[in-house]
Amino acid sequence: MVLVKSLSGIRGTLGGKVGNGFTPIDIIKFLAGYVTWIKKKYKNKHKYLIIFGRDGRITSTLFQKFLIITFQNFGINVIDIGLSTTPTVGFAIINEKADGGIMLTASHNKKNWNGLKLFNSMGEFLSKKDFQWFYSIVKKKKLNFVSFKKLGNYLYKKNYIHKHIKTILSLPLVDQKMIQKAKFKIVVDGINSTGGIAVPLLLKFLGVKVIKMYCTPHGNFSHHPEPIKKNLNKICKKVPKIKADLGISVDPDVDRVVFICENGDFFGEEYTLISISDYILKNKLGPIVSTLSSSQALYDLSIKNGVPYYATPVGEVHVVEKMKEVKAVIGGEGNGGIIYPNFRYGRDGLVGIALFLSYISKLTQKSLIKLKKRYPNYFMLKKKIRLSFYQKKQQILNFFKKKYKEKKMNFQDGIKISFLKNEWVHIRQSNTENIIRIHIESTSKKRVNFLYKKIFNEIKNSNNFK
């Protein structure tokens, strides 16, 4: 059993002992800490209001009433927006002037996982400082429920995804008319969660002909829910088979989006942010922010446009913090996460889709194959390694720090080692799983594979870590 606590929220596998999995007792403890944090953060209020939403997974349906009743017993008013997306919860918090919100989701993790994404009153994830404050409360908080007269109120509000989409369509850079004129035919993989509701609805407003795959939100995922190439074989085959213009896939809570080319090739999750940044910079110049694990192609784009580029540790919170600091015009993560500050400081797959379609609708040749050729052709490999019980993550990082001390290195988030020009390896502990993540990029596919074998063998050589 696994229980992970990070700036991305709380998530874990179902069942097991308290403290070692996503159990009802752990949920109550986390909610108690979150409620206390809200009351300390936003003082001098008689009543506090939070937004609650959930993804389509089976256990989200199970836990929905449990979480709402728990909040009410802590004296918190709840607006339940039901089946939702993570960005929709963030949007609803701002729209309802709430004190915070909870999205019940385990994002890209498998269906035996679930979790809590925690928001502040600005519809953003808790900052590092606030998350540490929250977690310190959780560790020492004694459960204390309110009396009958102080129970929180409950209100269900439907159609919040619809409101979210309507606001996206009002953004100046979302060109609804051009998209309608393009008459796109698009295949959508909704991974049997709320993407199956939200993405087709957005595309309907944009005048797109939609072919649905796995869009019934029953939570019994038809494939591994992370939107990466190896999990999207069926949509990659479907797009050229029915002569669609492109394909769209999202994760279960719709804060990440990836695209499929008209010939069935994977456009690449890194190129979601690269292409949308290209579109934004054509309309407004300004800084770009992404993570240390993101492609060099984004930095190249910033050089081409004469704007600053900033890299942060992996995680939405870090990207948002830097974007605010430098007044970035666009930012996000190379996993398909788009953060467009003109809308909200948070990853939003629906905003990403609307901006992307606006861009390609304006191209002379509306081809994702040709669009990708505009950008540098880097090869990236993303791997994760589960370690044996005696292999300590910090020892591994210290080993690489010593071994490659002659190379240029960055220690903001694990260790990033620069080898040749435009060639790097990033080794870091995952924020969401108990694993080591390795990202490698180079202009040569052979070099990428060579470097991975080299790094993998060094990690697996237990003699280095005894």
What residues are paired with 80 via a beta bridge? 52, 156
Contact 206, 230 (CB under 8 A): no
Residues in Cβ contact with 135 at an 8 Å cutoff, skipping those fewer than 6 apart = 5, 33
- Spatial distance between the Cα atoms of 457 and 385, rounded to a whole number of angstroms: 11
Pair of tokens at residue 187: 């295949």
The count of other CB atoms within 10 Å of the CB of residue 19 is 12
If you write DSSP's letter for every residue of 347-373 in order, what string do you get? --HHHHHHHHHHHHHTSSS--HHHHHT
DSSP annotation of 387 reads P
- Spatial distance between the Cα atoms of 400 and 354, rounded to a whole number of angstroms: 42
Give residue-wise pLDDT tens across range 411-462. Answer: 999 999 998 888 999 999 876 666 889 999 999 999 999 999 999 988 877 4
- Identify the pLDDT of residue 432: 65
- Spatial distance between the Cα atoms of 250 and 336, rounded to a whole number of angstroms: 9
Record: fold of 379-465: TATA-Binding Protein (3.30.310)
The one-letter amino acid code at 275 reads S
SS3 content of the chain, % helix, strand, coil (to 5): 40, 20, 40
> Terminus-to-terminus CA distance in the chain, angstroms?
25
Helix or strand (DSSP H, E) at 72 = helix 58-73
- Identify the pLDDT of residue 47: 87
- Identify the pLDDT of residue 429: 83
Record: fold of 175-372: Alpha-D-Glucose-1,6-Bisphosphate; Chain A, domain 3 (3.40.120)
Q: What residue ranges do the domains of the chain occupy?
A: 3-161, 175-372, 379-465
- Spatial distance between the Cα atoms of 83 and 252, rounded to a whole number of angstroms: 11
Helix or strand (DSSP H, E) at 37 = helix 24-41
Please tell me the pTM assigned to this model. 0.95
CATH of domain 3-161: 3.40.120.10
Helix axes 86-96, 349-361, angle to 10 degrees: 100
Closest CA to 309 of 354, 346, 274: 274
What residues are paired with 440 via a beta bridge? 381, 425
- Identify the pLDDT of residue 390: 54
- Identify the pLDDT of residue 231: 97
Closest CA to 353 of 287, 279, 425: 279
The count of other CB atoms within 10 Å of the CB of residue 78 is 23
Three-state secondary-structure class, residue 307: coil
Same topology, domains 3-161 and 175-372? Answer is yes
If you write DSSP's letter for every residue of 409-443 in order, what string do you get? EE-SSSEEEE-STT-EEEEEE-SSSSSEEEEEEES
The one-letter amino acid code at 313 reads P
- Identify the pLDDT of residue 138: 95
- Spatial distance between the Cα atoms of 459 and 150, rounded to a whole number of angstroms: 55
What pLDDT tens digit does each residue of the chain (466 aa) get? 789 898 889 999 998 899 999 999 999 999 999 999 999 999 877 789 999 999 999 999 999 999 999 999 999 999 999 999 999 999 999 999 999 999 999 999 999 999 999 999 999 999 999 999 999 999 988 888 999 999 999 999 999 999 999 999 999 999 999 999 999 999 999 999 999 999 999 999 999 999 999 999 999 999 999 999 999 999 999 999 999 999 999 999 999 999 999 999 999 999 999 999 999 999 999 999 999 999 999 999 999 999 999 999 999 999 999 999 999 999 999 999 999 999 999 999 999 999 999 999 999 999 999 999 999 999 999 998 887 655 677 888 888 999 999 999 999 999 999 988 889 999 998 766 668 899 999 999 999 999 999 999 888 774 544 4
- Identify the pLDDT of residue 45: 76
Contact 178, 361 (CB under 8 A): yes
Q: 155: left (phi > 0), else alpha (psi -120 to 50), else beta?
A: beta
Closest CA to 342 of 331, 357, 356, 326: 331
- Spatial distance between the Cα atoms of 273 and 290, rounded to a whole number of angstroms: 9
Q: 159: left (phi > 0), else alpha (psi -120 to 50), else beta?
A: left
- Cα dist from 185 to 70, 167, 228, 352, 366, whole Å: 44, 23, 22, 18, 12
Pair of tokens at residue 89: 């919860």
If you write DSSP's letter for every residue of 45-68 in order, what string do you get? -S-EEEEEEE-SSHHHHHHHHHHH
- Identify the pLDDT of residue 434: 67
Pairing of strands 337-339, 309-312: unpaired
- Cα dist from 129 to 26, 37, 40, 48, 135, whole Å: 22, 12, 14, 21, 10
Which single residue is written with the structure tokens 């295949």? 187
